[in-house]
Amino acid sequence: MQYVVSSRYGERDKANISIVGIIITYILFKFLFSFDSDWGILFGIIIVLIIAGLCIAHYVDSLWRSFPALAKSMDSFLDFLSPKDPDEAFTLLKTYAVSGILVLTFSLFGPWFVFEADWRHSFDSYYYDDQHGKLQSSRYGLFEVNYISYEYSDWGDYTTESERVDYSESGHQNRQEVASKALNLIISTMGLWIISTLVFLYFISNRLSNTNPRIEKLTKIKRIQEGIVLFSEKLERLKHRGIDITSLGQAVEEIEKSRNSLKFKASVSRPISVFAYAISGVCIISMGIAVFACLQFGETWAEAMDREDDDGGICGRSSTSTSSTTQCMLVDSFTGYSSDTDRSSSGTYHFNIYWGGGWGRQIILWLGTLTVCGILRNSLALLKLSKTSIQEIATLEKTVNGFSMPKL
């Protein structure tokens, strides 16, 4: 296992910290910095600065001691990401398994393809500043398409309206076919992920729950055996000194009766490795199916839009209010960009049109992949940490069952 060694806090697991750090960074930049308002961007910058300050303070003792509550919280979080025993590694494994379920669930309801446009009005007179805003956007999910329109009452002041339309009602039959294929694959992935993780986590939990009680029981028997040996040696010393030990007869009889209880049935170790490898393999396969759904969606979506009119479907709404160019005529690849201009009596309108994958698809490619990396990492950590416990049980069983009751 790879660790970062800190003089103050001990070993840190670089892999887990890196995975979680990338996940947090992705969420911050994807959702905070993608807000439509300047306040959203400002809020995102403040959050990033706070996190950067915490990271800097973590490595500067004088700053860290000034904020004991934050220091304790940060240390606890890093300790959580750096498992020291099988139970801690198992907790992280469960956390990543639940994260995978959440990623797949959110992907069902997020947009998989977005088509957006904005405008900028440049006045011919330099007395006026340029105006800019957004045009209607289309956000295609796996169930429906969401049309978002912007109504401007004055420059800079607008309201948004959202209209959700099922594919069956919108006439997007080709796009509905592509979305349905992806939907079926994601649902299959969710079923495989949920069932397999529940089963394998149950078996791992069962193995771990029997480990500590077994060690405790073996340790207790070992201590009793050591006490009997010590008691026997004391009896021998008393006899050699000629001291009467008949008063200890009842205690000796009780010890003789407990002879059988001081043996421990050797266990056939049922290793965790089978289930740790199994959950890793199934999660890789499951998320691989989801990634395949994303790639297939990206490969076939543009072609489906291009053939929409020819196959009797309805292409979609115009990309700009001044152009008859439809979405299907513009989208020649899954990601792209186009621009257009239009003259008015006061100046020139510039239209920028861009399209590509939505966050519903992207979180599988990014967060889903990182989740699988977390599961692999902590499966290996669980195997390594549990090996010590298994070896301890084997050593204790050998010692306990090799015990020979002394003659009392």
Instruction: Give the Cα-Cα-Cα angle 366, 367, 370 (nearest 5 degrees).
Output: 90
From the CB of residue 193, how many other CB atoms can be counted at a distance below 10 Å?
24
> What phi, psi does 345 have (nearest 5°)?
-65, -25
Question: CA dihedral in degrees (31, 33, 36, 41; nearest 10)?
Answer: 130
Task: Find, among 39, 74, 36, the residue nearest to 57 by Cα.
Answer: 74
Pull the structure tokens for residue 362: 């992207």
pLDDT at 106: 94
Pick 397 or 190 by higher pLDDT.
190
Length of the chain: 408
pLDDT at 86: 86
Pull the structure tokens for residue 136: 């209607």
CB neighbour class for 281 (10 Å; exposed up to 12, middle 13-18, buried from 19)? middle
| Residue type for position 253 | E
Least confident of 110-124, 209-223, 308-322, 325-339: 308-322
Task: Find, among 26, 317, 25, the residue nearest to 172 by Cα.
Answer: 317
Q: In the structure, what pLDDT confidence band is assigned to residue 268 with cuts at 50, 70 and 90?
A: very low
Pick 115 or 405 by higher pLDDT.
115
Task: Find, among 190, 211, 209, 201, the residue nearest to 275 by Cα.
Answer: 201
CB neighbour class for 82 (10 Å; exposed up to 12, middle 13-18, buried from 19)? buried
Q: Cα(105)–Cα(363) distance, rounded to whole angstroms? A: 11
| Residue type for position 173 | Q
From the CB of residue 142, how many other CB atoms can be counted at a distance below 10 Å?
25
| Residue type for position 119 | W
pTM of the model: 0.75
Whether 84 shows a pLDDT value over 90: the answer reads: no
Least confident of 90-99, 136-145, 257-266, 300-309: 257-266
CB neighbour class for 140 (10 Å; exposed up to 12, middle 13-18, buried from 19)? buried
Instruction: Please state the rounded mean pLDDT for residues 160-185.
Output: 88
Whether 152 shows a pLDDT value over 50: the answer reads: yes
Whether 9 shows a pLDDT value over 60: the answer reads: no
Whether 303 shows a pLDDT value over 80: the answer reads: yes
Q: Cα(373)–Cα(371) distance, rounded to whole angstroms? A: 5
List pLDDT tens digits, range 177-215.
999 999 999 999 999 999 999 999 999 988 887 777 777
